[in-house]
Amino acid sequence: MDNFETRSVIRKDTKDFKRHLRRPQDKIVFLACSLGFLTATVRAVISQNTMLAFVGVAGLILVSLMFFRDELVSRKMWERIKETTGAEELNMIVTFLDDKIKTYYPESAQTLHIDYHLISRFEETESTYLLITNARQFVMVNKETLIQDGKDEEFLQFIKNKCSNVKWGK
């Protein structure tokens, strides 16, 4: 079987993939914790318990910071990319080898290798396939390249064979 190779570009304003990096259970935890801290805060205000009110407000702030950390990390990542490469975008050449995925970043001349068994989620957006690890590293695959080459179905079957423990997104 031939190896697959695609080229992708990530721009600072690319929101196509950001929402898929957050695990689905993170949203449930955020909502549950927020509701709990909000309830504690309301009860504290009603009972005029300042210590409980303080804990409730502090909890709401901490949960919010945890939920928005991905955005903060993303901003820091872009600051580093701009500082080291001077670029406003990040080019990726992704090659699917027999034993691993190789991602090459031309601007920084860096290569990242990810073994197939580390891929835990597969998400599909309008223009990309995303392969995501538990540590939220991701490989972005340009769907247009695969579709133009007539290899999109072959690619999906290849991923199903190589990534046995992957959860398929909607």
* CATH assignment at residue 118: 2.30.29
Is residue 119 in a domain? yes
Which residue range(s) make up the domain with 101?
Answer: 4-14+89-168
Mean pLDDT of 91-108: 89
pLDDT digits (tens, 9 = 90+) for 106-164: 888 889 999 999 999 998 888 888 888 888 788 888 888 888 888 889 999 999 989 88
Is residue 107 in a domain? yes
Grade residue 95 by pLDDT with cuts at 50, 70 and 90.
very high
pLDDT over 60 at 51, yes or no: yes
| 3-state secondary structure string across the chain | CCCEEEEEEEECCCCCCHHHHCCHHHHHHHHHHHHHHHHHHHHHHHHCCHHHHHHHHHHHHHHHHHHCHHHHHHHHHHHHHHHHHCCCEEEEEEEECCCEEEEEECCCCEEEEEEHHHEEEEEECCCEEEEEECCCCEEEEEHHHHHHCCCHHHHHHHHHHHCCCCEECC
Is residue 136 in a domain? yes
Total tally of structural domains belonging to the chain: 1
pLDDT digits (tens, 9 = 90+) for 5-49: 888 887 766 655 566 666 667 778 888 888 888 888 888 888 888
Is residue 46 in a domain? no
pLDDT given for residue 114 in this prediction: 93
pTM, two decimals, is 0.69
Is residue 151 in a domain? yes
Is residue 54 in a domain? no
pLDDT over 90 at 101, yes or no: yes
pLDDT given for residue 19 in this prediction: 63
Is residue 58 in a domain? no
pLDDT given for residue 1 in this prediction: 41
Is residue 84 in a domain? no
